[in-house]
């Protein structure tokens, strides 16, 4: 029989581990729930638990997602889905070296236009992005011919796409690109294509928004949802000693395991060092159980059917709901 859970490294059944997790969260002064890898159903359940436990909630990859979001919510942006870019873009600018190559085949919905794919990467990227924006804005500057050609191609395109990754370029660069896109739309069409982050951070952000109205880095400490990208950064809270109990849901343990009392919902494949206080073995989304995940290629949430669903290993959502139930029991008995 497979091991369902561990308390202090010793195998136990799932139920006492769930009860222990509920007790730890209930007794915590500042509980924190952190998503490593998590499907959307687990995110919904984690947010229900966070509300019940007056905990904070973050995603390990939230920083880059919030960098993109910050540009949108401070100034606005024009963006495109990956499928529409594939179907229509006649000019693609890849910014930095992180984003993958884009197929140079002609856009299927306007094949006669062909497709020009360009990449701007390497040294002094920020400075060159600034120059590019200035060129697009019609400023009288001298720039190298390659950059001038790039600006000309964007201006001449019918439907240009600028693709970046917030994991690589800083928020100011994203803002510059969005400003440039805005200018190009005075005369033609151009849209941004931000690359979505790892570990379903885009899906978790969506679930967090429909559950709370806010993206990750949200807290229920005062009984209602509040959002603060700096204050509620999980790594900062752990390293700074602000969080006293952390519930982690991921494929492996977080880099800061060992610095805080830790409850972990991880698959049996996870390396358990240092050993968390409570471990509850959990299915892998889309592998051990069906899951809703953000598909970066489609730019949408999709349903990923597990080829061989496991009846023995529950999904994180079920375990999180059980912990919420255990916590309610804790609170009722106080």
Does 72 contact another protein by CB under 8 A? yes
As a whole number of angstroms, the distance between CA 189 and CA 9 comes to 58
Does 188 contact another protein by CB under 8 A? yes
Per-position x/- string for 245-264, each x denoting binding to another protein as judged by CB under 8 A, each - no binding = --------------------
Nearer to another protein, 225 or 235 (CB): 225
Cβ(146)–Cβ(132) below 8 Å: no
Indicate which single residue of 14, 16, 79, 235 sits in contact with another protein (rule: CB under 8 A): 79
Structure tokens at 303: 């349903």
Binding region for another protein (CB under 8 A) out of 133-141, 234-242, 250-258, 294-302? 294-302
Least distance to another protein, CB of residue 290, Å: 6
Nearer to another protein, 116 or 259 (CB): 116
> Cβ contacts of residue 166 below 8 Å, gap of 6+?
64, 65, 67, 68, 174, 194, 195, 197
Least distance to another protein, CB of residue 303, Å: 4
Structure tokens at 159: 């439907």
Does 287 contact another protein by CB under 8 A? no
Nearer to another protein, 84 or 98 (CB): 84
Structure tokens at 7: 């308390």
Per-position x/- string for 39-68, each x denoting binding to another protein as judged by CB under 8 A, each - no binding = -x---x------------------------
Does 101 contact another protein by CB under 8 A? no
Least distance to another protein, CB of residue 111, Å: 10
Does 318 contact another protein by CB under 8 A? no
Does 109 contact another protein by CB under 8 A? yes
Nearer to another protein, 268 or 300 (CB): 300
Count of residues engaged in binding another protein, rule: CB under 8 A: 51
Per-position x/- string for 119-158, each x denoting binding to another protein as judged by CB under 8 A, each - no binding = ---------------------------------------x
Buried b (16+ CB within 10 A) or exposed e, 293-307: bbbeeebebeebebe
CA distances from 333 to 38, 175, 264, 327, 328 (A): 31, 51, 25, 10, 9
Instruction: From 241, 155, 191, select the one nearest 77 (Cα to Cα).
Output: 191
Cβ(21)–Cβ(280) below 8 Å: yes
DSSP state of 256: T
Q: How are strands ordered across the β-sheet holding 91-95?
A: 116-120, 91-95, 159-164, 189-194
Instruction: From 119, 117, 232, select the one nearest 169 (Cα to Cα).
Output: 119
Note the residues at the interface with another protein (CB under 8 A): 40, 44, 69, 72-81, 83-84, 86-88, 108-110, 158-159, 185, 188-189, 191, 205-206, 209-215, 224-227, 290, 292, 295, 297-303, 305
């Amino acid at each position: 029989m497979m091991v369902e859970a561990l308390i202090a490294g010793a195998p136990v059944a799932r139920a006492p581990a769930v009860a222990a997790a509920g007790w730890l969260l209930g007794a915590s002064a500042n509980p924190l729930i952190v998503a490593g890898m998590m499907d959307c159903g687990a995110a919904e359940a984690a947010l229900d638990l966070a509300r019940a436990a007056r905990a904070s909630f973050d995603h390990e990859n939230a920083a880059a997602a919030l960098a993109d979001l910050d540009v949108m919510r401070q100034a606005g942006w024009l963006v495109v889905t990956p499928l529409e870019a594939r179907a229509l873009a006649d000019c693609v600018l890849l910014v930095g070296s992180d984003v993958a190559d884009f197929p140079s085949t002609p856009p299927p919905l306007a094949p006669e236009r062909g497709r020009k794919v360009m990449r701007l990467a390497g040294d002094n990227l920020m400075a060159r992005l600034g120059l590019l924006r200035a060129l697009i804005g019609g400023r009288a500057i001298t720039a190298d011919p390659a950059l001038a050609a790039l600006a000309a191609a964007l201006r001449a395109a019918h439907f240009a796409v600028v693709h970046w990754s917030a994991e690589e370029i800083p928020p100011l660069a994203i803002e510059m690109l969005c400003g440039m896109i805005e200018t190009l739309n005075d005369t033609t069409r151009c849209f941004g294509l931000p690359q979505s982050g790892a570990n379903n951070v885009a899906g978790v952000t969506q679930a967090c928004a429909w559950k709370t109205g806010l993206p990750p880095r949200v807290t229920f400490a005062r009984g209602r949802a509040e959002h603060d990208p700096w204050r509620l950064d999980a790594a900062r809270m752990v390293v700074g000693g602000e969080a006293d109990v952390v519930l982690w849901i991921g494929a492996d343990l977080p880099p800061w395991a060992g610095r805080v009392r830790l409850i972990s919902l991880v698959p049996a494949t996870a390396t358990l060092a240092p050993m968390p206080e409570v471990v509850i073995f959990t299915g892998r989304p889309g592998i051990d159980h069906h899951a809703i995940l953000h598909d970066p290629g489609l730019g949408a949430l999709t349903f990923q059917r597990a080829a061989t669903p496991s009846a023995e290993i529950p999904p994180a959502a079920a375990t999180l709901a059980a912990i919420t139930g255990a916590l309610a029991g804790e609170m009722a008995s106080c």
